[in-house]
A and B are shown apart, each in its own frame.
Chain A
Amino acid sequence: MAHHLKDKEAYQRLNYLYQAAHCVIAQNPDNVELARFYCFTQKTIARRLVLRQDPSVKRTLCKRCCSLLIPGVTATTRQRRKHKKTRFTVVRCLSCGQTKTLLNDPDHRLWTDRPEAQLEQHKQPGEEAK
């Protein structure tokens, strides 16, 4: 992973901050402020260095106030229906009230989960090595 060396530290830092936020919440579920501070730093680092974060990470952070969204602790999760058929998962941040609406569809897949994306990622290091 020679080509990744520079960003590796940054990714480790992002990972640490994300874990730290979880750790703080696990110790004391009411201490939202500190967890939010760590997530905010994580977000700003990613913005400064133009790093992409996985959707699974982004979906657990509030877009508005940057707090961790843990169902039942800092967020409510509900199933909603729209136009009779399509179902959504609605995640609502308890501290600021911002909602996230995610589609429930067993056939729908994110780009990063698809096999094509995996292929592309494998290709790139090979090209750079040449």
Chain B
Amino acid sequence: MEEAHVCTTIPQDLVRRLGAEAHSSSKATKFTEAYLKNCIQQPTRLDVKNIVTHKAVILGYSRPKKDKTKRNSKKAKGLSARQKRTMKVFRIKPEHQRYELFLPLHKLWGQYIIDLCGGLKPTSNPQFVQQKLLKADFHGAIITVVRSKCPSYVGTTGILIQEFKHVFKIITKEDKVKVIPKKNSVFSVEIEGFVSHIYGNKFELRSSERSAKKFKVKGTIDL
């Protein structure tokens, strides 16, 4: 209704009384055009007339955000170090720390070593065997601490269950997990009568890195 009122021409009697005059439609458009021209702040570079004629009004627009969850789900990523720590990924629960559970593992290890060295005979070259042992895996081996700077470590025997960078985790016959640092101690590994010594000082590496690393003759070990 209101719109209709605005668009209607002024009645004749009102024209006479106010002294105002209704514009013809062509005049009115010209007037509005001029009015709009004045109203719009002049961005000098833009063609104002073009804006008015096309009436292209751009409202606020923002690009739709990319769906992050979709991309993450496509590619499986490993756990971060913090997640590993909170989940205790490699921590062995106390109820699993039983010695007899690890005997089959030791048996498997014995087979593995014999297979690796191509059959241990009294005639086989000890140097050749030791060369192989450098790159071999020691998880499941029975190791004994022969010498150490700390005397309380000497004599502990057990099956190696985990090997870390600076530490061996050993399970003893009394069902106890012992953590023995590699530094400043010598371990002995027995394989069917063949005894080999491991110098912990030289072994301070992650077990996975040991297979890729070259061992160099460097210095002596006095213990």
Contact = CB atoms under 8 A, between A and B. Distances in A.
Nearest to B90: A37
Contact of A64 (B78, B91, B136, B207): B78
A28 interface: yes
B92 interface: yes
A31 B96 contact: yes
Contacts of A41: 137, 139, 207-208
Given A16-B109, A33-B91, A48 B209 contact: yes
B55 to A, nearest CB: 46
Contacts, number: 95
Interface residues of B, number: 36
Interface string A32-47: 0110111011001100
A95 to B, nearest CB: 8
A64 B104 contact: no
A65 to B, nearest CB: 6
Interface residues of A, number: 32
Interface stretch (A19-27, A75-83, A116-124): A19-27
Nearest to B208: A44
Contacts of A49: 211-212
A12 B104 contact: no
B90 A65 contact: no
Contact of A13 (B88, B90, B211): B211
A67 B212 CA distance: 23
Contact of B92 (A9, A27, A33, A98): A33
A63 to B, nearest CB: 5
Interface string B160-174: 011000000000000
A35 B92 CA distance: 10
Interface in B39-92: 76-79, 87-92
A33 B96 CA distance: 10
Q: What's the dominant secondary structure at chain A's contact region?
A: helix
B162 A34 contact: yes
Interface string A2-26: 0000000110110011011001101
B101 interface: yes
B139 A38 contact: yes
A96 B91 CA distance: 15
Contacts of B90: 33-34, 36-37, 40
Contacts of A27: 101-102, 104-105
B78 A9 contact: no
A13 B108 contact: no
Interface of A: 9-10, 12-13, 16-17, 19-20, 23-24, 26-28, 30-31, 33-34, 36-38, 40-41, 44-45, 48-49, 63-65, 95-96, 98
Interface of B: 76-79, 87-93, 95-96, 101-102, 104-105, 108-109, 112, 115-116, 132, 135-137, 139-140, 161-162, 206-209, 211-212
